[in-house]
Each structure stands twice: as structure tokens, then as C-alpha cells.
Amino acid sequence: MNVFITGAAGGLGRAFAVECAKRGHDLFLTDIDNKRLDSIKNGLLRRCDIKAVVYPCDITQDCAVKEMMAFTEKLDMRFDMLLNVAGVDFEGGFAARESKQIIDIVKLNVEATLRMTHNVLAHRRRNLPFYIVFVSSLASMYPVPLKATYAASKRFLLDFSIALGQEMKAQNVSVLSLCPGGLPTTEQALNGIAAQGFWGRATTNRLETVARRTIARVLKGKRIYIPGVLNRTFSIAGRLVPPCVLARMLHGRWKKAQAKWLSV
Amino acid sequence: MDTVIVTGATSGIGLAVARVLLKRGYRVLGVGRCEKNCKTAESELEKEYPGANVRYYYGDLMQQREVKRLSEALRRDINEHCEGKLYALINNAGCARSWYATTEEGYEQQFALNHLAGFLLAHYMLPCLKKGRGLIAMTGSGSHRHMKVRWDDIMFEKRYHPLLAYKQSKLCNLLFAVALNKRFSNDGIRAYVVDPGLVKTDIGFKDTGRLVRFVWSMRRRRGAMPQVPAKTYAFLLDAEPPEGGLYYRQCRRAGYSSRVTEKDADRLFELSEHLTGVVFGKET
């Protein structure tokens, strides 16, 4: 199987790359950070008997993505799986952020993800199943004040993935939306988890476990995966509790957490 | 002036070793992860020992490309200031973890920093070590005992146990020293491992969870100050220890696990070459 991974040099992307490599899948890895891409490529090739191609790319730029896809054509690569991992968040209130940061969240999390999905779908291996994973978030299940743009962008991915999965079912395409709680990927993420105290730790998922179970579920044709019993319980609240009540509750929680962590 | 590299030199044992060596007139090149901590350590040491020759370099030794970058900077420094001769390399940098975490290569972090980083740094500094005194010392731990290398899962990916992963990394320090002595003693290289004993450092507080921090806060109360094990490094650098010594504690030879065998040392050495993509001692 050839697996295409965006955001492959970050914590979750790397975990997915390692999981796919352990399963013997060949990889096409992209990220904006070329040094870290080379590092993960070296690590994978030294431990697993697979082929791994890396291509640094800013997937928010249409022409850059077109060049990347032309590169895959030169290698005669067709794909069986796409893992849309690349994403970004900038912590803090909407008005307190620069407008460029707000737009960048949408540009990467939504626009670039759609661009990659459309392009890689056109390069899928014919007559074989194709699998797509969208990395959404538990935050997609509610309106989240102080993470409003991020949560809304992940909500877009959740709804889009469910709709796309139904639309492309007849074409042998399986689509899964991964909705994790906190993931210990970057120092900022770890600080954010710590700032949330007990609930931060309780809703955090181990990257390697998430990667392994996500791949297993998308291969089985599952549509949504919410890691962790507590997170699944919280996701039910998203459907039962009125949105305005949820927004009020989450505002209180995030205000306390961000005050503690952003002031450090 | 003899030059010594000390990694993990911004706090704990590494900083204490830097102090002891500066007092004895060595030139110290300290390595730390964080630029701010490196600048603080450098200026503190310059204040404590006016006229001392100390310089700090910062970088994340967990990442192999950073080890390479730092090595290039250290070699430039050594070539410029001490005719390319390195008296000793002290691989002290280490970490403990509460949960499974990986480096940029996807390697488990304790194995990557506590063993592979020292392996790779020794490889890059080998030409300078051969020209100089050629001493390599590693900060080991008594916790290497009752542990064996998990050859089929050296990164502890299945059923991760952070303490066992730490113990394995400390066993790897001894195996690496055995392999170095076997391969490079004719080139004047001598490798040792120092058991610092229980020391009041912050290793259990850095990037660890609450349980590890709590346990470490209780354990370290009975620990010695870092100045105590620092004397053993100075002893190894100052004197010529008797042939055959490998593991030292409180300036004396100490016993170590019977699992430290030449066969396992060779196996780990070859695996480490493979995981770092180098042929040890061969310049590219």
C-alpha cells in the first residue's frame, strides 16, 4: 500500500508514519519542515524495510501542491491511503489574535485539507479501495470559546468527512474522521494539557495508540473514531446539551486554563 | 589548556562537573538544550571563576541532526583553540520520561538521548579525542542492574514501561563503553561509566508526569549533592586509572551487571551504527 501523509514531521504525523511503516506500507511524506522530514525518513528507513519519499511543501499554496503532485507522477506513484494530519491552532481569544493567524487556521485546516484530498484522490490507485483519514478533534463536537476558529475548522472536517464518505462509498472510498482530545505533540500542546489539570490529562490520548487504532478502524470502514472512553462520553454531551449552554461551560474552563498557561 | 566537553552541563551533575574541572584548570565546553540556561550557566561560571575558559553551546541532543550541528561547532572551536585536541568527552546529558515520547526520527526519547546521542557525539568527536587524551566518560546508573536489552523491541514500543526503558538505556552506557574499549584502545581511547549514586538533580521533574515527579521528589531527599559524583569524573580525568577499570563510583572501581558482555556490546554497537546511519570512527 502507498500511504500519503501530510504534516508528517509533527508528533501525530510521525506516529502515523511509524505505524504505517511497521505495517509494511510505503510512504509519501510531506510537511513544511524539510529538516524534520529528513529526520523521520532516516528513522523509518533504518528500522523498517519500506520505501519512504519525502517532499517539503506548503500545502496552503496551490502551485506548490501542483508541483508536488507532478513529482509523484514522475515517480509513477499511485496512492491507497491519505492521512490528512497537517493542521494548526493559535491559542487565545479571537480579537486578541492577528487576523492573519485566524485566516491561517482556516487556510491550513480547511482549504489545504480539501486541496490535498482532491489532488490525492485524483492520484489514487484504480480499482482498489482508497482510504482517507481527516484529523478533526473532540473540539469539533461543541462551540469552543477561545478556540472558536480552530473548533469550527475541525467541525467543518467532521461534517465534510461524513458527507464525503457517503458520497464516495460506491467508488470504494472509506473515510474516517479522527476526533481526539488532547495530543502530546508539541511543547505548546503539552503546556496546554498540563494547564487543564486533571481533565487535561484525563482527555489526552497517547499518539502511538491513536495512530494504530485509527489505521485499524479506517481499514474496517469505520466513519468516526473518538479515542478514550471519557472523550466518547463528552462527545455525547455535544449532542444533548444546548450549544449556548455548552459554550458558557467551555468558556469558563478554557478561560482558566489559558490564563494559567499563556501567562507562563 | 586541556579541553573537555560536558553535555547536560546547565544543571545537576553536568554543571557540578563543569565547576570541578574549571577549578582544576581545564577548559570546558558545556552543552545544554536551552539557550537561556546555557547563557545563565556560562555567566555564573565566569563570575565564580574569573579568567576561566568556558564556553557553552546549545542544542537538543535528542535529535540526531542537532548532534551533528553541535559537533561541527565543537570541532571548529577545538581546532581553533586547542590544535584539534580533545582531552575528554563527558556524555552526561540524560532524561527520564513518564510516557512514550519520540524524537524527530521516531525513536524512543530515553534511548535516543541516554545512549544514541552519546554514541553519535563520540563518533563525531573521535578524531579530536584521538589527538588528545582520548577519555570518554558516561553518566551511568546503578539501575542498569537486573535489566537486559530488549533486542526484539529496543524502543519499548510494545508495553512501554518508562522505568525499564530508563534502566535499559543505562545498561547501554556500559555496553557502549565496553565496545569502545575493545575497538579503539589501541588509538588511545579509554571509556568509563560513572555511577553517580542517588543525586539531588531535577531529572525526574523535566517533561515527566505527576507520579514520576512525586516519586522523584521523595527519592531525591536522600540523594547526595551533585558535587559528590563530580569528583569521580575529575579523578578519571586527572589520574591514569588502572587498566581494566570500566565502572567507577566515588573514585573507586565498582562492580556492575553480569549482563555487560562483549557479545551484547558488539550487538548494541552495530545496532547503534545502523540507527544513526554512521560507521563509527569513519569520517564522511
Which residue among B104, B209, B277 places its CB closest to the CB of A40?
B104
Q: What is the mean pLDDT of residues B73-94?
A: 95
Question: What is the structure's pLDDT at A97?
Answer: 87
Average pLDDT of chain B? Answer: 91
Q: A52 contacts in B (CB within 8 Å)?
A: none
pLDDT of residue A16: 97
CB contact under 8 A, A14 and B107: no
Chain B (186-225) residues lying within 8 Å, Cβ to Cβ, of chain A: 207, 209-210
- Chain B nearest-CA distance from A189, in A, is 12
**Is residue B231 classed exposed, middle or buried when 0-12, 13-18 and 19+ CB atoms within 10 A define those classes?**
middle
Residue A234 has a pLDDT of 79
Q: Using the beta-carbon criterion (under 8 Å), do B65 and A39 form an inter-chain contact?
A: yes
Residue A192 has a pLDDT of 62
The alpha-carbon gap from A48 to the nearest alpha carbon of chain B, in Å, equals 11
Q: Which amino acid is residue B60, in one-letter code?
A: D
By Cβ distance, the residue of A11, A42, A207 closest to B105 is A42
One-letter amino acid of B224: A
pLDDT digits (tens, 9 = 90+) for B18-76: 999 999 999 999 999 999 999 999 999 999 999 889 999 999 999 999 999 999 999 99
% residues pLDDT > 70 (chain B): 92
DSSP code string of chain B: --EEEEESTTSHHHHHHHHHHHHTT-EEEEEES-HHHHHHHHHHHHHHSTT--EEEEE--TTSHHHHHHHHHHHHHHHHHHSTT---EEEE------SS--B-TTS-BHHHIIIIIIHHHHHHHHHHHHHHS--EEEEE--GGGTT----GGGTT--SS--HHHHHHHHHHHHHHHHHHHHHHHGGGT-EEEEE---SB--SGGGSS--HHHHHHHHHHGGGPBPTHHHHHHHHHHHHS-PPTT--EEETTEE----TT--HHHHHHHHHHHHHHHT--TT---
Nearest to A17 among B106, B207, B277 (CB): B106
Whether chain B has a CB inside 8 Å of the CB on A36: the answer is yes
A56 touching B (Cβ < 8 Å): no
Distance from CA of B100 to the nearest CA of A (A): 8
Residues of chain B positioned with their CB less than 8 A from the CB of A56: none
Among candidates B197, B199, B200, which has minimal Cα distance to B250? B197
What pLDDT is stored for residue A264 in this prediction?
A: 47
Task: List, in sequence order, the alpha helices (H) in chain A.
Answer: 11-22, 34-47, 62-74, 99-106, 113-121, 148-167, 187-195, 197-202, 207-219, 229-240, 243-262
C-alpha to C-alpha distances, B247 to B33, B122, B132, nearest whole angstrom: 27, 18, 22
And the C-alpha cell for B85? 585536541
Percentage of the residues of chain B whose pLDDT score is greater than 90 = 76
**Residue B243 confidence class, pLDDT cut points 50, 70, 90:** low
pLDDT on residue A188: 62
Nearest CA to B131 out of B68, B189, B72, B178 is that of: B189
At residue B207 the predicted structure's pLDDT band, cuts being 50, 70 and 90, is: low
Burial class (CB in 10 A: 0-12, 13-18, 19+), B159: exposed
Across the interface, which of A42, A47, A206 has its CB nearest the CB of B100? A206
B275 to chain A nearest CA, in Å? 6
The answer to whether A73 and A124 are in contact (CB under 8 A) is no
For residues A29 and A55, the answer to whether their CB atoms sit within 8 Å is yes
- Taking the Cβ of residue B153 and every Cβ of chain A, the question of whether any pair is shorter than 8 Å is answered with no
Does B157 contact A35 at a Cβ distance shorter than 8 Å?
no
pLDDT of residue A194: 61
Mean pLDDT of B213-228: 73
Chain-chain contact of B275 with A47 (C-beta, under 8 angstroms): yes
Does A33 contact chain B (CB < 8 Å)? no
Predicted model pTM = 0.90
Name which of B100, B104, B275 is nearest A39 (Cβ-Cβ). B104
Residue A142: what pLDDT? 84
| CA-based nearest residue in chain B for residue A34 | B104
Q: What are phi and psi of A135, to 5 degrees?
A: -85, 100
Chain A contact present for B103, CB below 8 A = yes
Min Cα distance A187 → chain B (Å) is 9
Surface-to-core class of residue B59, CB atoms within 10 Å of its CB (0-12 exposed, 13-18 middle, 19+ buried): buried
pLDDT for A228:
87
Q: Name every chain B residue with its beta carbon within 8 A of the beta carbon of A9.
A: 104
- What ipTM goes with this model? 0.87
Please give the backbone phi and psi of residue B212, each rounded to the nearest 5 degrees, phi first.
-60, -40
Rg (CA), chain A: 18
Q: What is the mean pLDDT of each run of 10 residues along chain A (264 residues)?
A: 96 95 97 96 96 97 97 96 93 85 94 98 94 94 88 95 96 96 66 61 75 96 91 81 85 72 55
Q: What is the pLDDT of residues B93-151, one digit of tens each?
A: 999 888 888 999 999 999 999 999 999 999 999 999 999 989 999 999 999 999 999 99
To test the contact with chain A by mutation, choose from B66, B67, B69, B102 the residue with the greatest count of A C-beta atoms within 10 A, namely B102
The whole-number pLDDT of residue A182 equals 72
Residues of A in contact with B107 (CB under 8 A): 43
Q: Give the lowest-confidence range in A15-19, A173-177, B195-199, B204-208.
A: B204-208
Residue A47 contacts B where some CB pair is shorter than 8 Å: yes
Q: Is B21 exposed, middle or buried (0-12, 13-18, 19+ CB in 10 A)?
A: buried
Task: Write the DSSP symbol of residue A48.
Answer: S
Burial B265-274 (b: 16+ CB within 10 A, else e): beebbebbbe
Can you give the pLDDT at residue A196?
A: 60
**Residues of chain B neighbouring A201 (CB-CB closer than 8 A):** 209-210
Strands B3-7 and A224-225: unpaired
